[in-house]
Structure 1
């Protein structure tokens, strides 16, 4: 395994926590009558939770940003990623 910085370790550990929470939530709802609906719900919850993580709402000691390489501007500029993603992904 690679040597990770404490921030990298925290980031990936938090992704693991998000995955576990979403899977357990999906399993509790699962009737398998509508697999497509379940998959949209699971992926929506996962993406939304990752956007919350990047926006800084998940871990106080982990503040992240996404920088567009060419312009060097933050994708978070003037928006909250988790608020905007709801307009683009199915729930």
Structure 2
């Protein structure tokens, strides 16, 4: 992967973490949710956020019923961030390596 592809994946991971944190912050701390349930909710939120990003990247990679193709282009170079990789697979690999 090139530097821009890595930066994209880093930012997508940050988006996932931010969304999970925002969602968890909305839980009422005084509701008496025990630690085990709180951990299950956090895991569920993390999995959901990962899945949504994964599915969007699948769409960009061309794995959908969308009637047209989409791409992510670096404006300065006009090169595709998809060049040489499947974004959706690399995203999951990146998360596993940077857990």
> TM-score normalised to the size of structure 1?
0.58
What residue in structure 1 maps to residue 47 of structure 2? Answer: 41
Partner in structure 2 of residue 50 of structure 1? 56
List gaps (5 residues or longer) in structure 1: 1-31
- Structure 1 window deviating more from structure 2 (42-51 vs 57-66): it is 57-66
Offset, 1:89: 3.0
Give aligned pairs, total. 60
1:45 Cα deviation from its structure 2 partner: 0.5
Using the TM superposition, give the Cα deviation of residue 35 of structure 1 relative to its aligned residue in structure 2, in angstroms. 1.3
Q: Which has the larger radius of gyration?
A: 2
- Mark the runs of 5 or more structure 2 residues left unpaired by the alignment: 1-35
More helix by share: 2
Report the aligned-residue RMSD: 2.0
Q: Which has the higher contact order (CA 8 A, sep 6+)?
A: 2
Q: Within 2, Cα distance between the matches of 1:50 and 1:38?
A: 19
1:83 aligns with 2:89: yes
TM-score (norm 2): 0.54
Question: What SS class does the counterpart of residue 43 from structure 2 fall into?
Answer: helix
Provide the C-alpha distance between the structure 1 equivalents of 2:57 and 2:68, rounded to a whole number of angstroms.
13
Q: Give the corresponding residue for 2:12.
A: none
Distance 2:79 2:73 in 1: 5
1:12-31 to structure 2, matched below 5 A, reads: none
